[in-house]
A and B are shown apart, each in its own frame.
Chain A
């Protein structure tokens, strides 16, 4: 049967190309056409802020959702999504947040309450400052206008004396070009995908977290109940594969973008020690804010949730140290053996 899949990134982005477009083809083949997703990209079906609602109402049967759009609906997801500075290895965060989303009881209850079956997570590559002026030291960053992803990122900007600016991603280019913005803080594939390399002269290698809040695949509950357990297993297997695939593809896109920006004359600089120290200080200080925010939104015992999440992050940090992180199949096998194979397709998400 025909179903709708929704993602708000453009179709050629590494988070859509593999995990949605190719995924849809493979799923159709392996379910003999029983599950045939039509992919709607770039928000042509649902606006970013409404994707959670849209999949719940069955406009789409599977969707991507950026968790920070719905802090009140998904307080636990936002709590861990804002832990972006604890470990800045995107591969670790993608796998750890996926395992957390599929297994943590409190998190599972949150998905259920929002009428969605969590399928798997993701992570962008590291966020870097991409600027039209050199920003290398803590002194440089003071007073600079940074386009931030909100939440912890904006708090970090203020912590180091910069000015966080909210701005739609479509205005980053003109903002940097005309100078109403000094830096865009985003994954560096933006140099290519948002053409920032035309206007960015300096990039700082300070890893300001990475973004993994929400989910790469969240399913409509009625859809999930209606498909056979065998087909659910097909989805599990393919999600495990594309969880690994998108990470490698994303990093490749970043590398390509940074290289071509360098050829264009972009300078890549290390942060000074003071800036690194400031980030480290911030990470420690911000945890209290995260916990307070979560409590305000009714999360019971956020400290315990953070501890569990950190344990998973540390676990994956160790597991991934022993694999070839450029080998999609090896990573996918790990995702299956450590996460998806342990799920029971006859009961998982059957609310």
Chain B
């Protein structure tokens, strides 16, 4: 979350500085496009993913779910958590292999400068992996009978 937040601010600063330097001195910061896309964005999306999952901030539809009886809700949630952990493990595994491969070949992207991207690749397995763990933790909390869903009922529907 902290790194993600830092990513947001640094990206804003970098894009702004790039534009200002381009407009006034015709001297852009080469690599802004590549660094923003591959580093800042990947950090913003991947690193907070586990917290987003843990805090039940991922987007879901509870139209039908809200009408389920309590026991069915708990079963649904349990299935959901395990399925989430399973698919995220798949994603972790494969993006992890990709990161290793990228590291081995020293993966770069070619913009107006060559930018090394393999460190950015490492953020994918990290993000997916931690999110998988978060899903499992929620399963444990559920079994222990603790609340695992955030009730979005703060609004006052007039």
Contact = CB atoms under 8 A, between A and B. Distances in A.
A150 B112 contact: yes
A143 B33 contact: no
A130 interface: no
Interface in B99-114: 105-114
A154 B109 CA distance: 13
B112 A165 contact: yes
A163 B27 contact: yes
Interface of A: 49, 68-69, 71-73, 143, 145, 148, 150-151, 154, 157, 163-167, 180, 297
A157 B112 CA distance: 9
Given A143-B26, A145-B22, A166 B111 contact: yes
Interface string B28-61: 1010011000000000000000000000000000
A284 B33 CA distance: 29
24 contacts: A49-B109, A69-B109, A69-B110, A71-B109, A72-B107, A72-B108, A143-B26, A145-B22, A145-B28, A150-B112, A154-B112, A157-B112, A163-B22, A163-B26, A163-B27, A163-B28, A164-B30, A164-B112, A165-B28, A165-B112, A166-B33, A166-B34, A166-B112, A167-B33
A180 B33 CA distance: 15
Interface string B113-153: 11000000000000000000000000000000000000000
Contacts of B33: 166-167
A72 B26 CA distance: 31
Given A68-B110, A165-B28, A166-B34, 5 more contacts: A150-B111, A154-B111, A163-B22, A163-B26, A163-B27
Q: What is the interface residue range for chain B against chain A?
A: 10 to 19
B110 A151 contact: yes
A145 B18 CA distance: 13
Contacts of A180: 22
Contacts of B109: 49, 69, 71
A166 B109 CA distance: 12
Contacts of A166: 33-34, 111-112
Interface in B57-115: 105-114
Given A150-B112, A166-B33, A166-B112, A297 B106 contact: yes
Nearest to A53: B98
Contacts of B108: 71-72
